[in-house]
Structure formats: structure tokens, C-alpha cells
Amino acid sequence: MPAEWAPHRGTWLSWPHKEASWPGGFEPIPDIFADIVRHLVPHEEVHINVGDEALEESARGVLRRAGVPLARVFFHRHPTNDAWCRDHGPVFVHREGGGRRKQLILDWGYNAWGNKYPPFDLDDVVPTRIGAELAIPVLAPGLVLEGGSIEVNGAGTLLTTEQCLLNPNRNPGRSREEIEAALRKYLGARNILWLGQGIEGDDTDGHVDDLTRFVDPVTVVTAVEDDPRDANYEPLRDNLRRLRTMTDQDGRPLRVIELPMPPALHREGQRLPASYANFYIANETVLLPGFDTTMDERAGSVLQAQFPTRRVVVIRCTDLVWGLGAIHCVTQQWPALSG
């Protein structure tokens, strides 16, 4: 599996339509998606799953009103239950053989984070539908796994969390060793690194894309909470301690950069999983979730130092994260085959 910073052909999204995912707060969500698309189209194609003509026309209208040029936006009639394309979308991998590189799609099982939000039957088959449309071979590893639960450096090292991948609500009866064997076989992971717990309010059971992200083959940025009274303080410190003992696939110690957490964000008495680690790396740009705090600038500075050839852009996500996810959760990269 290529690293996220490898050249993209495009980015996949699933256009939002499930109002229950943002109870009483759906109205601004399509405009946030339009803002994401607006910042992507100068640099790569954008492919959007829409279930029917009415949803496509609605999406086109939102994008036009936002001033988004549509020449590099492509709509695909793949119905979805929800908008979290990182977790239900295709995971693209590359296979070398016969002197040439081939692209494959992995269709992991998807059960809406442990059967929390049925129905999810439409989301579960999105990768296979996309593979059939694009004539890209599809492999089904036979394990439940969401895209947000894994993070790779493109050179053989994979990060994940015990809270998620070992959770019995995903693959009951499967051992750590069996899960690691599948990660090695299908993702080319020679070196699997396990973090512990996720952040407060995360209904995915500890997705790594709210915690720790590779920014180059040997460097990670990891979310750290400075307030000892905050519920996230100790879990994030534990992950930081683990990372400082870890190495890449060649035995080199990881370079660990601390990324601040935004102040605790609540809505209707619920802690939301706001994290600056939920950024998305695209061609020539990095989209950083913003939460209307003075910490946005600090987080942006940390990331900009790691991506000197890409421009870090803040997308306001206070409304988006009411759905318990942010920018990385709604995007899925389509690597360029030649990259």
C-alpha cells in the first residue's frame, strides 16, 4: 500500500446524505464537502460516490454555488449508507510482477465500526462496485477492517491500535497473529506497530488516523494532550511512550513529532473526537481540520514544517466532527499507478 503522500491520481468521497449522522446539524455538511473538493481539484481528480441522479444533481448544485470547477470532478453511481469513505471506500494497493506494476483494490469487510450503525450493506460493497466499474481487480481479504484503522509509510511499516483491530466486534475469534498475517499478505506490511487506546468520543474504537500519522518514511506526528486533567492525556502519553521505542522496517528509530490537540469540543453534552491528526495529504496540499481555536495555527505550523513542498490549508470542521469524524475520515486516496 503506497504512503498517502505518494502521487495521487485522485481522491474518493461519498457525498453526504444521511442526516442522522449529524443530528440537527446536517445543513452545513455539504458545504464543507464542497470546500474540501475546492481545495483538491487544482491538484488532482475528485471522484464522488452518489446513489442516484437526484443526489448527483444536489451535489453538483452545491459545488457550483461554492465556485468549484467541475472539469476534474467525476460522479459515480455507487449508493452508500453514509459518507465515511475512508472506512468503506476502496483501499488501493500495488503489486510488482513480470517487470510491471499492477493496481488492485482491497475490499475488506465493513460492519460500521462493530455493528454500531446499521444498515451498512451498501457501504460494504462499494470497493467491489468501484473495481467492476474501473476494471481493477478486487481482492477480499476476509477480515473486517476500516481504512482509518491503519497507517502506512509505503516502505513496509504499518501503524494500528490494539483497541480497534483486536476488538471482538470486528473479527471475533481472530488472534493478533492472524490479523498481522493478513496485514502482511495484503498490505505488504513487514513491520507492524501497535499503539494502545484512541481518543475520547471516538466511536470507531480507536482509529489511528486520530492519533498518529506518518509524514515521511521514518517520521510520525502524534497527537499529545498537555492538560493532565483531560481524559485524553494518559492514553496519548502512552502512545507517545510506545512510539519512542519503535523502529521502522529497517530498524531505524522513528522520528516522533508532537502534534497538539485542540481544546475539548462538546456538543449536546457529548465529547467530540476532534483531532488535528485527522489531516489529509493530497498532491501539493495538506488539508488540516480546524476547530475555531488558537491551536489551529500551532498545529498548522507543525505540519507545514513537515511538508515544505505542500501548502497546509485549514478546513473548518467544527460542524463536520459532530458526525464523529473529520477530513481524513471522508477521503480516500487513489494512488497514481506510476507513483
- Report the pLDDT averaged over residues 170-177: 96
Q: pLDDT, tens digit, for every residue of 89-135?
A: 999 999 988 788 899 999 999 999 999 999 999 999 999 999 999 99
Asked if 329 is an active-site residue, the reply is yes
Q: pLDDT, tens digit, for every residue of 140-173?
A: 999 999 999 999 999 999 999 999 999 999 999 9
- Report the pLDDT averaged over residues 72-88: 98
If 0-12 CB within 10 Å is exposed, 13-18 middle and 19+ buried, where does residue 336 land?
A: middle
Res 304 pLDDT > 90:
yes
Per-residue pLDDT, 254: 98
Q: pLDDT, tens digit, for every residue of 241-263?
A: 999 999 999 999 999 999 999 99
Q: Is the CB of residue 6 less than 8 Å from the CB of residue 335? A: yes
Domain boundaries, the chain: 8-335
Q: Which fold has domain 8-335?
A: L-arginine/glycine Amidinotransferase; Chain A (3.75.10)
Q: Is the CB of residue 225 less than 8 Å from the CB of residue 197? A: no
In the chain, the percentage of residues whose pLDDT exceeds 70 is 100
**Is pTM, for the whole model, over 0.85?**
yes
Catalytic residue among 85, 164, 317, 329: 329
Q: How far is CA 225 from the centre of its chain?
A: 21
Res 339 pLDDT > 60:
no
Phi-psi region of 292 (alpha: psi -120 to 50; beta: other; left: phi over 0): left
Comparing CA positions, the residue from 338, 318, 267 lying closest to residue 94 is: 338
Rounded Cα distance between 272 and 264, Å, is 8
